[in-house]
């Protein structure tokens, strides 16, 4: 069925969760080389948009790119995740990280300078050589044997400063480098300091360079323990307002609030919030290995759509050029009419406006081109890409779903991630429905005297109250019927449609859990089963 997947399509001998990634990797690489690359080369796609993909681009682990202004805690965040220092790490209140550092797994600790890194075929950085020595002297790979890095790689970027001087003094196009990374990473994390929310011109340009990668962006509001609750609300509102001016999406970006370093919290009143936010962020990062195949597939689809649009633009410009006289004037006219050409191509080929490249950038690139050397439209190349999108990609997607359902969940392990999984300091331990799980006494018994007073006002018969009587009391909580129905089902342990004093106390306890902001469990945990119902309840399971 999947004979077109290439050499690694049948590689099942490796076993475990890596099978689906290996299979999809082979399939994607084969599709790109046979279907998409010919179209890109024919219409000079690599000169205008993105270099050709190499084997390392398909084989590499999920990557996380950290971007932010200086002293927002990017390097400290990596140190927090790894729980160890890495080569090249410098932390301080002043602008310390002046290089792009790829933090990756290695059997021994060490660093590789940029010029050596871009000639290594096993690393996905070879195409960065086009940014020249000014960039390569500010690029390095930091390798170390760390459990976290067995699943993901992390890219630390230079702190972004304000002022035109900083942009000029870099010696390379900072935003172009960020765009190159953004196209290849699985997650882009923008870090903000709770005390420095202003978005400088360069940071604004950097964020705009992530256009088309909005689904990868997450925002971290770091050092939030340094302000109190009232100030935090104002800071959060100001951050959302600032982001709304530079990120043009109708959806609200997910912002994670916390203090991501291994030091005591300066302000503990929002501790629960910070723990919940950290847990959500960890889950998002931990899921990257499992979603890596889908991400690569999605990026290939985006690339194919852009390559098709590029082919239509280039072939249209070629068609409009005169054969002998007036070539330069016609070129200037076509460049000035580019927005109109976009609209015409949208209508002719039924293409979404969002698939077209930015007019300003395209104009700048076209200025240096000889339109007479462009190629005319070649329908067979377009048809090959259309076939890939309509049939091959769909088959590969179904393979991913099939394999993922049959394999164990692959997650990031080690470092700070292990500290959130189990034990009394795991997220949610001893809270909500988990409260009292490690105690001998029934946790509901603490408040049972108060619940008993209410129970006996409901006129129990033979030690039990009817469903109608219980409903009158339970609806005073103002919880919706869907929630109260779930609570009733959990509390009526023997399923007789009535509640005794212990079952009623359990119902009131579950209501309290929900009113305190926790979720009701799907099944009743063993430690919440009323003592008089434990044996029969457990026997009937």
Please count the residues of the chain.
Answer: 541
Residue 4: pLDDT band with limits 50, 70, 90: very low
Q: Is the pLDDT of residue 3 over 50?
A: no
Q: Which residues contact 188 (CB under 8 A, 6 or more apart)?
A: 64, 65, 67, 182, 210, 213, 216, 217, 218
Statement: 63-287 belongs to CATH 3.40.350.10? no
Neighbours of 13 (CB within 10 A): 7
Report DSSP letters for 458-520, one per residue.
T--BTTEEEHHHHHHHHGGG---HHHHHHHHHHH-TT-SSEEEHHHHHHHHHHHHHHHTTPPP
Give the whole-angstrom CA distance, residue 77 versus residue 154: 11
Average pLDDT of span 495-500 = 94
> Residue 165: its pLDDT value, please?
47
pLDDT tens-digit series, residues 227-238: 999 999 999 999
> Residue 541: its pLDDT value, please?
40
Give the whole-angstrom CA distance, residue 6 versus residue 59: 14
Where do the structural domains in the chain lie, given as residue ranges?
Answer: 29-53+294-406, 63-287, 432-533
> Residue 230: its pLDDT value, please?
92
Long-range CB contacts for residues 300-304, cutoff 8 Å, separation at least 24:
300/28, 300/31, 300/32, 300/36, 300/393, 301/389, 301/393, 302/212, 303/36, 303/50, 303/53, 304/36, 304/385, 304/388, 304/389
> Residue 138: its pLDDT value, please?
92
Contact 442, 55 (CB under 8 A): no
Residue 225: both structure tokens together: 């323990």
Q: Is the pLDDT of residue 168 over 80?
A: no
pLDDT tens-digit series, residues 359-408: 999 999 999 999 999 999 999 999 999 999 998 888 888 877 776 666 66
Which CATH architecture best describes the domain 29-53+294-406?
Answer: Orthogonal Bundle (1.10)
Which CATH architecture best describes the domain 432-533?
Answer: Orthogonal Bundle (1.10)
pLDDT tens-digit series, residues 521-536: 999 999 999 999 887 4
> Could you tell me which residues are beta bridge partners of residue 110?
143
How many CA within 13 A on the CB side of residue 143?
Answer: 11
> Residue 252: its pLDDT value, please?
77
Give the whole-angstrom CA distance, residue 413 versus residue 183: 25
Q: Is the pLDDT of residue 35 over 90?
A: yes
> Residue 509: its pLDDT value, please?
95
The predicted model scores a pTM of 0.76
Neighbours of 389 (CB within 10 A): 17
pLDDT tens-digit series, residues 71-102: 888 989 999 999 899 988 876 655 555 789 99
Residue 228: both structure tokens together: 């109190």
């Amino acid at each position: 069925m999947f004979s077109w997947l290439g050499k690694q399509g049948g590689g099942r001998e490796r076993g475990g969760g890596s099978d689906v990634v290996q299979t999809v990797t082979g399939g994607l690489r084969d599709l790109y080389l046979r279907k998409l690359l010919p179209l890109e080369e024919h219409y000079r796609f690599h000169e205008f948009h993105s270099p050709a993909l190499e084997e390392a681009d398909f084989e590499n682990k999920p990557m996380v790119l950290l971007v932010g202004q200086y002293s927002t805690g990017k390097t400290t965040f990596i140190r927090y995740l790894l729980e160890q220092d890495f080569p090249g790490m410098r932390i301080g209140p002043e602008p310390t990280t002046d290089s792009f550092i790829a933090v990756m797994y290695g059997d021994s600790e060490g660093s590789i300078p940029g010029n050596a890194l871009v000639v290594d075929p096993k690393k996905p950085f070879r195409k960065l050589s086009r940014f020249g020595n000014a960039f390569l002297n500010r690029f390095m790979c930091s390798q170390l044997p760390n459990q976290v890095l067995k699943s993901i790689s992390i890219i630390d970027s230079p702190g972004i400063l304000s002022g035109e001087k900083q942009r000029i003094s870099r010696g390379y196009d900072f935003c172009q480098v960020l765009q190159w990374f953004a196209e290849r990473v699985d997650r882009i994390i923008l870090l903000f300091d709770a005390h420095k929310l202003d978005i400088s011109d360069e940071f604004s340009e950097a964020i705009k360079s992530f256009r088309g990668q909005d689904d990868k962006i997450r925002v971290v509001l770091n050092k939030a323990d340094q302000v109190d609750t009232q100030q935090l609300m104002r800071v959060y509102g100001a951050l959302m307002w600032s982001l709304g001016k530079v990120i043009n999406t109708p959806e609200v970006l997910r912002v994670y609030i916390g203090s991501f370093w291994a030091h005591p919290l300066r302000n503990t009143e929002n501790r629960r919030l910070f723990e919940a936010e950290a847990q959500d962020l960890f889950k998002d990062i931990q899921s990257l290995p499992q979603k890596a195949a889908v991400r690569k597939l999605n990026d290939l689809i985006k690339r194919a759509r852009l390559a098709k649009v590029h082919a239509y633009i280039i072939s249209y410009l070629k068609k409009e050029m005169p054969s002998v006289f007036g070539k330069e004037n016609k070129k200037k006219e076509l460049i000035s009419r580019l927005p109109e050409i976009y609209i015409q191509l949208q209508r002719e080929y039924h293409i979404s406006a969002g698939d077209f490249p930015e007019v300003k950038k395209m104009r700048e690139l076209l200025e240096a081109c000889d339109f007479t050397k462009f190629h005319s439209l070649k329908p067979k190349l377009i048809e090959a890409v259309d076939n890939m999108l309509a049939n091959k990609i769909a088959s590969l997607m179904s393979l991913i779903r099939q394999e993922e359902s049959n394999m164990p969940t692959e997650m990031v392990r080690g470092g700070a991630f292990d500290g959130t999984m189990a034990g009394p300091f795991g997220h949610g331990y001893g809270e909500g429905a988990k409260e009292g799980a490690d105690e001998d006494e029934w946790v509901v018994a603490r408040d049972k005297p108060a619940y008993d007073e209410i129970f006996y006002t409901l006129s129990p018969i033979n030690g039990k109250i009817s469903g109608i009587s219980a409903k009158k009391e339970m609806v005073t909580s103002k919880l919706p019927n869907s929630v109260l129905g779930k609570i009733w089902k959990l509390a009526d342990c023997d399923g007789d449609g009535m509640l005794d004093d212990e079952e009623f106390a359990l119902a009131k306890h579950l209501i309290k859990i929900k009113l305190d902001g926790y979720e009701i469990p799907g099944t009743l945990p063993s430690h919440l089963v009323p003592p008089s119902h434990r044996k029969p309840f457990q026997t009937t399971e």
